[in-house]
Amino acid sequence: MSKIGKKLIVIPEGVEVVVDGAVVRVKGPKWELSETLLDGVSVAVADATIAVSVDSEEKRNLWGLYRSLIANMVVGVSEGYEKKLHVIGVGYGAQVQGQKLVLSLGYSHKIDFVLPDIISASVEQDSKGNAIITLQSIDKQLIGQAAAKIRDLRRPEPYKGKWVRYFGEEVKLKPGKAAAK
C-alpha cells in the first residue's frame, strides 16, 4: 500500500479538474496544466476531492508518484511556486532581459540562460550588494530543473566562498592550506 497514494487531494476554490481518458487537466486562476497517465493508473474526481488508484500491486510505485504530480499541479495553478537563488562573489551579478537571464559568474564572458515561457524571473540586491534571483512558475518540476541548471553554472565553492546557491542553503567554508601552518 502507498501511504501517499491513499491520501485524497482537496481541490481549492476556483480550480477545475477534468479527467479525459488518460489525460488529467487542471485549470486554475493562474494557468492550465495537464498530465498523461500510464496504463493501470486511474483518477476519480468527486465532492471537491481527487482520488488516485492503481489496478494491480505491480503498479503501486506509480500510485504515490501520480498523486504527487496531480497535487503539485493543483497547487501550481492556484498558488504557484517560487525558488530563490543567491549569487555571491565579487563581480558576480545577474540581470533579466525578457525571458533571458544574463549572468556574470567570474568567467571571461557573460552567460545567457534562456528561461522557459512559463517561468518568470526577477533580480534584486541584498544589503551586501549580492544578487538574489527569484524564479516564479506554476510547474514545480520545471522551476526546480531551471534553478538546478542555474546553480550548476557556478556551484558552491567551499574555499573562496564564490557561488550560486539556493537562498538559505548553508555551505561551510573550509579553512584552506594557510590554516595548517
Last residue of a domain, one of 42, 59, 78: 78
Last residue of a domain, one of 29, 59, 78: 78
Q: What is the pTM of this model?
A: 0.85
| Average pLDDT estimate for 101-123 | 93
pLDDT tens readout for residues 14-42: 999 999 988 999 999 988 999 998 888 88
Is residue 54's pLDDT more than 80?
A: yes
What pLDDT score was predicted for residue 174? 87
Q: What is the CATH number of the domain that holds 105?
A: 3.90.930.12
Residue 127 and residue 55 share a domain: no
Residue 19 and residue 32 share a domain: yes
What pLDDT score was predicted for residue 2? 67
Cell of 35: 498530465
Strand partners, 117: none
Residue 157 and residue 98 share a domain: yes
Q: 117 in a domain, yes or no? A: yes
Residue 57 and residue 12 share a domain: yes
Residue 157 and residue 89 share a domain: yes
| Average pLDDT estimate for 163-178 | 85
Last residue of a domain, one of 43, 59, 78: 78
- pLDDT grade, residue 1 (50/70/90)? low
Q: Which residue has cell 534571483?
A: 133
Q: 177 in a domain, yes or no? A: no
Residue 92 and residue 24 share a domain: no
Domain that holds residue 88: 81-166
| Average pLDDT estimate for 48-58 | 87
E-strand ranges in 48-117 read 49-54, 81-88, 93-97, 100-104, 111-114
